[in-house]
Amino acid sequence: MRALVDTSFLLRAVELGTDLLARVEDKLGTKIVPVVVPEVVKELTSLAKGKNVRAKRAGLALLLCETLERLDTATGGEGVDLVLLRRAKELGLPVLTCDSKLRRSLRRAGVGVIYVDKKGEVRVEAIIL
């Protein structure tokens, strides 16, 4: 199954130093193909410009993005969350996230959510395999 990934998921994967994708796959019982949109890469690129810990994590997350499937998007200046919401609805894909605000927006829109909390626990909402 393919799933869109957001910035927070990629940063959490780097932060925890564990294979969050494997945890998600164990929870769902199926293989996940993570898909990244250009807006997530742009956001990570912006975050990586600093010299703090978050910037270093963003740099590592960018390296991780190089291994993921890419999805082209045509946006009219939409923010990352709106792009993820729109593309998830259009393609019928769930979103992997650690962002509670995005999680609520996706849930309200009827989009499947795979949420990973601060401890790395996986919660699945409205996913149909």
* Contact (Cβ atoms closer than 8 angstroms) between residue 126 and residue 112: yes
Rounded distance between C-alpha atoms, residue 72 and residue 121, angstroms = 30
The DSSP result for 30-58, as a single string, is S--EEEE-HHHHHHHHHHTTSSSHHHHHH
The CA-CA-CA angle for residues 38, 112, 67, to 5°, reads: 35
* Residue of higher predicted confidence among 46 and 23: 46
Is residue 125 over pLDDT 80? yes
Check residue 16 and give its pLDDT. 84
pLDDT digits (tens, 9 = 90+) for 34-90: 999 999 999 999 999 988 999 999 999 999 999 999 988 666 678 899 999 999 999
* Of 2, 29, 25, 15, nearest in space to 88 by CA: 2
9-13, 72-76, 77-81, 102-106: segment of lowest average pLDDT: 72-76
* Superfamily of structural domain 16-125: 5'-nuclease (3.40.50.1010)
Return the number of other C-beta atoms located less than 10 Å from residue 81's C-beta: 18
Give this prediction's pTM: 0.90
